[in-house]
Structure 1
Amino acid sequence: MDMWKKLHLKSDSLVVLSPPAIFDKYLDAIKETHLVSESISEPFSYLLAFVTCQEELPHIIVNVRKHAVEDPVVWFAFPKRTSKLSKNLSRDKGFERIGQIGYEAVSNISIDENWSALRFRKVEHIKTMIRLSCGTISVVGKKRTADNKGPAGRAEVEAKKVRATKEVDQPVQKQLKPEAKKRAVQVTKEKRKI
């Protein structure tokens, strides 16, 4: 599959930050048809930023906040854990700072044996967010997934109900006689199954 198709390149211009030498072949393939910039200095609709550690993110994120158009395509490419370049970034850890400006990860691809890329999107442009709120990095994303009607949201709501039932039922069980206590435990177990 064409790399740019995987990266959802539909724009005529793009910003590519700190590409490794092995990515040159992909850039050469589009240089005649696309305007490629190596810095963020004006509004952009497409960004592919190669980063190797969390410390590189703040400067890029400030520029994303300042120069991104309404619904940009924003990719952060990072070394896979198996790569010698790997430091403190992974699909699940290290990108919390972009959540501070209201973005959430929506897609994950493999670029090659050493690099992966995560696509981020502003929460208000994500149609459905089916994930647990603990898997989100933005305040807006956590609010949206807490009330999620999808399977992940329902699972979280059910887990909260079970925790609430445990807390309420335990003090009540202490006050009951042994026979009633057995029945209360059975009812609690049945509630958890539902």
Structure 2
Amino acid sequence: MHPIEKKLQFKEGSCLLILNLPEPLAELVEAWSLVSVFQEKLPEDVNQADAMLVFVKKEEDVKAAAEVVNHHLPQDGLLWFSYPKKTSKRYTSEVTRDHGWEALTDIGLRPVRQVAIDDDWSALRWRPDPKA
């Protein structure tokens, strides 16, 4: 098991849908052994993913991904949104830990955990908000 798989709480045999994977992270994802990884779309015979990892830099990215989440992730699915750290020298972002997530809060989600993917990317886990 790769340490990032453990950090992101992926379960063995899960179907993981990744959106907007940055090229420099492709090698990292290829090393993951617990999950079946699909990029950008699921195969025709799979309706929903067990988990999603979405990379975003702009609020429009979050908004577009929110629609995919609604269609391809069950309510109890594992959902992570990854965004560039403020300290990243490689990427700039209008999304931060505290800003840019309105599209997710609008569909009744709230952030519950934050982890580091690498020196450039952080990830926020999202779950249904019991108050929504």
TM-score, normalised via structure 2 length:
0.85
Match of residue 93, structure 2, among 87, 101, 113: 87
- Structure 1 residues 14 and 108, CA gap change in structure 2 (3 angstroms): same
Match of residue 25, structure 1, among 19, 24, 27: 27
Partner of 1:44, secondary structure, is: coil
Separation in 2 of the partners of 1:67 and 1:110?
A: 25
Does structure 1 residue 122 correspond to structure 2 residue 116?
Answer: no
Partner of 2:60, secondary structure, is: helix
Higher percent of residues as helix? 1
Aligned to 2:107: 101
Does structure 1 residue 47 correspond to structure 2 residue 49?
Answer: no
TM-score, normalised via structure 1 length:
0.59
- Which amino acid in the other structure matches residue 64 of structure 2? H
Shift of residue 43, structure 1, vs aligned partner: 1.1
Aligned to 2:66: 61
Separation in 2 of the partners of 1:98 and 1:82?
A: 24
8 Å Cα contact 1:107/1:120 also seen in 2: yes
- Which amino acid in the other structure matches residue 115 of structure 2? I
Shift of residue 11, structure 1, vs aligned partner: 4.9
Separation in 1 of the partners of 2:48 and 2:10?
A: 16
8 Å Cα contact 2:11/2:35 also seen in 1: no
8 Å Cα contact 1:40/1:63 also seen in 2: no
Pick which of 86-95 and 19-28 moved more: 19-28
Q: Which entry has the higher C-alpha Rg, 1 or 2?
A: 1
Higher percent of residues as strand? 2
Separation in 1 of the partners of 2:82 and 2:71?
A: 20
Q: Give 5+ residue unaligned stretches, structure 2.
A: none
Aligned-pair identity (%): 30
Aligned to 2:9: 8
Partner of 1:86, secondary structure, is: coil
Separation in 1 of the partners of 2:93 and 2:53?
A: 19
Shift of residue 8, structure 1, vs aligned partner: 0.7
Shift of residue 109, structure 1, vs aligned partner: 0.7
Within-5 A mapping of 1:137-156: 140=132
8 Å Cα contact 2:57/2:83 also seen in 1: yes
Aligned to 1:34: 35
Q: CA RMSD in A?
A: 1.8
8 Å Cα contact 2:62/2:100 also seen in 1: no
Q: Give 5+ residue unaligned stretches, structure 1.
A: 125-138, 141-194
Shift of residue 64, structure 1, vs aligned partner: 0.7
